[in-house]
C-alpha cells in the first residue's frame, strides 16, 4: 500500500473575498477599456482592505501609495455615512 505524498495546501483566500476581488478587477478593466479613472475596493469581514486603481499622478506619473488610497477611501466612506445621516 502506498501513501499519497502530495502536500495538502489549504486555500489561502476564502471564496467570498476572492469573488469580491474579481468583481473589483472587472470594474477596473471596464474603466481601463473606456478610458475612465477608477478607484475601487472593499473591506472584508476581518477588516482587511483590498484596493485597485488606474489613477496616476499626471505630473510624476506615479501610482498613489496605499496610504493615499486608504485616506481617500476613508474620506469617501465618511462622506457617504454623512449623507445617510442627513436624510
Q: List pLDDT tens digits, range 15-44.
A: 888 899 999 999 999 999 998 888 888 888
Let me know if residue 8 belongs to a domain: no
- Domain carrying residue 32: 15-85
Whether residue 6 is contained in a domain is answered as no
Q: Which residues, listed in sequence order, are joined to residue 81 by a DSSP beta bridge?
A: none
- Count of domains observed in the chain: 1
What pLDDT shows up at residue 22? 92
- 27, part of any domain: yes
Closest CA to 41 of 31, 55, 28: 28
pTM recorded for the entire structure: 0.54
The pLDDT, as a whole number, for residue 33 is: 93
DSSP structure class, residue 47: S
Amino acid at each position: 500500500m502506498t501513501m499519497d505524498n502530495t502536500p495538502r495546501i489549504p486555500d489561502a483566500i476564502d471564496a467570498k473575498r476572492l469573488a469580491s476581488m474579481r468583481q473589483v478587477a472587472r470594474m477596473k478593466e471596464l474603466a481601463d477599456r473606456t478610458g475612465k479613472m477608477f478607484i475601487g475596493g472593499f473591506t472584508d469581514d476581518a477588516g482587511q482592505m483590498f484596493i485597485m486603481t488606474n489613477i496616476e499622478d499626471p505630473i510624476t506619473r506615479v501610482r498613489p501609495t496605499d496610504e493615499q488610497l486608504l485616506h481617500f477611501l476613508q474620506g469617501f466612506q465618511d462622506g457617504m455615512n454623512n449623507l445617510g445621516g442627513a436624510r
